[in-house]
Chains A and B, each alone.
Chain A
């Protein structure tokens, strides 16, 4: 590495592979990062659903049957836990990443967080209406 050539060699304590098990906050951080894997899994799941719907009613019904098999249900339950973890941590971080001003006043963090939950409720209601009407 070129960095070591210009900088004096400092001792760097080796970090264990399991550093994220050392503290609760590290563990939550690691789980939050891991949530992305379940986000990706659910995109794959929705793509399989879309593909099945495109191929006809029989394929759609067998997709639903497959989705009801125990391992897929367990996987999707775990997915729900991680997706909710992603949602909560994402909403909580938003006020730190964005500063919103209204009439020159900085909008407080709680208001930004609350407005996201309102957005979530509106979106969820719309999706449920669209899919089940």
Chain B
């Protein structure tokens, strides 16, 4: 596939991940990153959280959320590296590392989420 045909698909994934990250991450960071570990709010019991995460719909949704957020990261970080830090020389390597990282992360997500379902 030529670059021109791939770019809109990458942009679409970036964009979908951007929307999901904007809508879902703030509440998740507040709850799981701060409120539960620091005891501002009583953390959910293991049984309850296991039941929520183990529901196939939750797992499927989280897989989509994780994979698209990683695609969002890959696309944005790729441009951060070569426009921001002027690393135009290693374009190919950066592209492979970013999108490769997102694909690898999505596979890991599927495996980890499958352990709870």
Whether a CB of chain A sits under 8 angstroms from the CB of B96 is no
Count of chain A residues near B, Cβ 8 A: 55
Q: Is B62 an interface residue (CB 8 A)?
A: yes
Residue of A47, A72, A84, A123 touching B112 (CB-CB under 8 A): A47
Contact among B18, B32, B85, B113 with A45 in the assembled complex (CB-CB below 8 Å): B32
Cross-chain contact B49 with A124 (CB below 8 angstroms): no
Interface of B is mostly: helix
Residue in A67, A80, A128 whose CB lies within 8 Å of B37: A67
Give per-residue flags for B94-117: 1 if the beta carbon is below 8 A from chain A beta carbons, else 0: 000000000001001100110110
Q: If A51-B115, A54-B115, A64-B37 touch, does A36 touch B30 (CB 8 Å cutoff)? A: no
Interface residues of B (CB under 8 A from A): 15, 17-19, 21-34, 36-39, 41-44, 46, 48-50, 52-53, 62, 65-66, 69-70, 72-73, 75-77, 79-80, 84-86, 105, 108-109, 112-113, 115-116
